[in-house]
Amino acid sequence: MRPDFTADNRSPSSEAGSSASAWEAHLKLGFIRRGEKTMLATRQHRGPLTVQRPFYPEGGVCHVYLLHPPGGVVAGDRLAIDVSADTGSQALITTPAAGKFYRSGGAQASQSVNLKVAANATLEWLPQETIVYEGARVVSNMGIELDAEAGFIGWEVQAFGRPAAGEGFDNGEATLNWRISRAGQLFYLERLRLDAKAFAARWGLNGESACGTLFACPATATHLAAVQTLIGDQPGRGVTRIDNMLICRAIDARADRLRDFFQQVWQLIRTDITHRPACAPRIWAT
């Protein structure tokens, strides 16, 4: 059964944006390898951000479900997540449901994720989509530090507005930052600012309500060709490779189709990066 994420009485209609109602939450996770199994050796949290008991559906790989019990982020909330994967460890992190950023009366909400992956370790950051409500003001920072021999697969999917409810993204702003370093050197830096103009423009999302990015390494020319074949002539999909980093982007009118596409990419490349066949978290099927 999917956990209840609706305990918080703050809602998108409340415009809860005062500092008095804002929450700060911090989660720190550390994975280490013991024998043939990866253990969650460090688990520290402050505020409403935690994880479930680890799962081991494929033997030694540690699967962790990230939990935010309030079920949504309002103006002024600040979430911070720090994850480290020690040498030889293998961990997969996902979420049991979509995240939500509710509309703001003016203040920003922020989420910062910092991932560190040591040599011969693999980390998979595979959250379900984040819904950014119309009128939300969001800053999302993704920082990834990879050792030279580290393996990584990670994605972020954003859904703007609620098309099924007739809501677009006529106002609001989301700033999405990626910073990736490899072997101590800056490798990739990106800042994407999406507002109502960028949402509607042909040079932006062209009115599509969902967008996402996937990074994976080490990736080969064979991986690139496989994903290109998967894409075929589908619109709103693209992939490239910089050195041995695969970068895949997509936009779509529906976040579920975009998420399914990224899962297909993950299934194509996962075995070569983690040296294990794809094993989808059970929560994805609920």
Amino acid symbol at 151: G
Integer Cα distance of 223 and 174 in angstroms:
31
Reduced 3-state DSSP string for 20-70:
CCCCEEEEEEEEEEECCEEEEEEEEEECCCEECCCECCCCCCEEEEEECCC
In whole angstroms, what is the distance from residue 232 CA to residue 260 CA?
Answer: 16
pTM of the predicted protein model: 0.91
Give me the residue spans of the domains in the chain.
Answer: 24-278
The helix (run of H) or strand (run of E) holding residue 222 is helix 221-231
Q: Give pLDDT tens digits along the chain (286 positions).
A: 233 333 344 444 444 444 446 789 999 999 999 999 999 999 999 999 999 999 999 999 999 999 987 778 888 899 999 999 999 999 999 999 999 999 887 789 999 999 999 999 999 999 999 999 999 999 999 999 999 999 999 999 999 998 878 888 999 999 999 999 999 999 999 999 999 999 999 999 999 999 999 999 999 999 999 999 999 999 999 999 999 999 999 999 999 999 999 999 999 999 999 999 999 999 998 8
